[in-house]
Protein backbone atom coordinates (compact mmCIF):
# COMPACT_ATOMS: atom_id res chain seq x y z
CA UNK A 1 0.00 0.00 0.00
CA UNK A 2 1.60 3.32 -1.04
CA UNK A 3 2.00 5.83 1.71
CA UNK A 4 1.36 9.53 1.37
CA UNK A 5 4.49 11.65 0.99
CA UNK A 6 5.45 13.27 4.27
CA UNK A 7 4.84 16.98 4.53
CA UNK A 8 2.74 17.47 1.42
CA UNK A 9 -0.74 17.57 2.94
CA UNK A 10 -1.87 20.20 5.37
CA UNK A 11 -3.98 18.45 7.94
CA UNK A 12 -6.20 21.38 8.93
CA UNK A 13 -4.74 22.08 12.32
CA UNK A 14 -5.07 25.34 14.26
CA UNK A 15 -2.46 27.13 12.14
CA UNK A 16 -4.46 26.65 8.95
CA UNK A 17 -7.81 27.56 10.50
CA UNK A 18 -6.40 30.66 12.17
CA UNK A 19 -4.89 31.68 8.80
CA UNK A 20 -8.28 31.29 7.09
CA UNK A 21 -10.17 33.10 9.88
CA UNK A 22 -7.61 35.91 9.95
CA UNK A 23 -8.08 36.54 6.22
CA UNK A 24 -11.88 36.37 6.40
CA UNK A 25 -12.07 38.73 9.38
CA UNK A 26 -9.59 41.09 7.73
CA UNK A 27 -11.68 41.32 4.57
CA UNK A 28 -14.86 41.84 6.60
CA UNK A 29 -13.27 44.61 8.64
CA UNK A 30 -11.97 46.23 5.44
CA UNK A 31 -15.45 46.38 3.92
CA UNK A 32 -16.92 47.77 7.14
CA UNK A 33 -14.28 50.50 7.17
CA UNK A 34 -14.97 51.31 3.52
CA UNK A 35 -18.69 51.75 4.20
CA UNK A 36 -17.94 53.68 7.39
CA UNK A 37 -15.64 56.14 5.61
CA UNK A 38 -18.18 56.63 2.81
CA UNK A 39 -21.16 57.23 5.09
CA UNK A 40 -19.14 59.52 7.34
CA UNK A 41 -17.95 61.51 4.31
CA UNK A 42 -21.60 62.03 3.42
CA UNK A 43 -21.93 64.47 6.34
CA UNK A 44 -19.79 66.99 4.39
CA UNK A 45 -21.96 66.64 1.28
CA UNK A 46 -25.40 66.67 2.88
CA UNK A 47 -26.01 66.52 6.63
CA UNK A 48 -29.65 65.65 5.96
CA UNK A 49 -28.69 62.66 3.78
CA UNK A 50 -26.17 61.60 6.41
CA UNK A 51 -28.87 61.62 9.10
CA UNK A 52 -31.15 59.54 6.88
CA UNK A 53 -28.41 56.96 6.23
CA UNK A 54 -27.56 56.74 9.93
CA UNK A 55 -31.28 56.34 10.68
CA UNK A 56 -31.43 53.26 8.46
CA UNK A 57 -28.76 51.62 10.65
CA UNK A 58 -31.06 51.63 13.70
CA UNK A 59 -32.65 48.22 13.22
CA UNK A 60 -32.11 44.69 14.58
CA UNK A 61 -30.42 43.41 11.40
CA UNK A 62 -27.66 46.01 11.71
CA UNK A 63 -27.49 45.25 15.43
CA UNK A 64 -26.71 41.62 14.57
CA UNK A 65 -24.17 42.72 11.97
CA UNK A 66 -22.49 44.79 14.71
CA UNK A 67 -22.14 41.60 16.76
CA UNK A 68 -20.37 40.01 13.80
CA UNK A 69 -18.15 43.06 13.41
CA UNK A 70 -17.06 42.96 17.05
CA UNK A 71 -16.46 39.20 16.78
CA UNK A 72 -14.25 39.79 13.74
CA UNK A 73 -12.33 42.69 15.30
CA UNK A 74 -11.64 40.82 18.54
CA UNK A 75 -10.47 37.67 16.77
CA UNK A 76 -8.40 39.59 14.22
CA UNK A 77 -6.68 41.62 16.95
CA UNK A 78 -5.88 38.70 19.26
CA UNK A 79 -4.82 36.46 16.39
CA UNK A 80 -2.59 39.26 15.12
CA UNK A 81 -0.78 39.31 18.46
CA UNK A 82 -0.49 35.50 18.24
CA UNK A 83 1.03 35.83 14.77
CA UNK A 84 3.56 38.37 16.03
CA UNK A 85 4.56 35.97 18.80
CA UNK A 86 4.84 33.02 16.41
CA UNK A 87 6.91 35.06 13.93
CA UNK A 88 9.19 37.01 16.26
CA UNK A 89 9.51 34.88 19.42
CA UNK A 90 12.00 32.04 19.04
CA UNK A 91 9.70 29.64 20.90
CA UNK A 92 6.53 30.92 19.21
CA UNK A 93 6.12 28.12 16.67
CA UNK A 94 6.54 25.52 19.41
CA UNK A 95 3.63 27.04 21.39
CA UNK A 96 1.36 27.80 18.43
CA UNK A 97 -1.44 25.52 19.68
CA UNK A 98 -1.40 27.00 23.20
CA UNK A 99 -1.35 30.52 21.78
CA UNK A 100 -4.37 29.70 19.62
CA UNK A 101 -6.21 28.38 22.67
CA UNK A 102 -5.32 31.62 24.45
CA UNK A 103 -6.74 33.64 21.54
CA UNK A 104 -10.00 31.70 21.69
CA UNK A 105 -10.27 32.01 25.49
CA UNK A 106 -9.69 35.77 25.38
CA UNK A 107 -12.15 36.06 22.51
CA UNK A 108 -14.90 34.24 24.45
CA UNK A 109 -14.20 36.12 27.70
CA UNK A 110 -14.61 39.49 25.98
CA UNK A 111 -17.16 38.60 23.31
CA UNK A 112 -19.85 36.87 25.40
CA UNK A 113 -20.43 39.82 27.78
CA UNK A 114 -20.51 42.19 24.81
CA UNK A 115 -23.13 40.06 23.03
CA UNK A 116 -25.34 39.91 26.11
CA UNK A 117 -25.18 43.67 26.68
CA UNK A 118 -25.43 44.67 23.03
CA UNK A 119 -28.34 42.40 22.17
CA UNK A 120 -30.21 43.59 25.26
CA UNK A 121 -29.96 47.10 23.80
CA UNK A 122 -30.82 46.01 20.25
CA UNK A 123 -33.90 43.95 21.20
CA UNK A 124 -34.79 45.39 24.59
CA UNK A 125 -34.65 49.09 23.96
Instruction: Name every residue whose Cβ is closer than 8 Å to that of residue 21 and which is 6 or more positions away in sequence.
Output: 75, 79
- Nearest Cα to 117, choosing from 63, 65, 75? 63
Per-residue pLDDT at 4: 57
Phi, psi for 115 (deg, rounded to 5): -60, -45
Total-model pTM: 0.85
Neighbours of 56 (CB within 10 A): 9
| Structure confidence by residue, pLDDT tens digits, 2-16 | 665 555 455 667 888
Q: What pLDDT shows up at residue 69?
A: 97
Ranges of the chain with pLDDT below 70: 1-12, 125
Amino acid sequence: MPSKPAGTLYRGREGMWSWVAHRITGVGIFFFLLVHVLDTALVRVSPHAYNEVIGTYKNPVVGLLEVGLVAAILFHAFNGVRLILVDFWAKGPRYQRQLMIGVLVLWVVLFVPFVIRHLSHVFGG
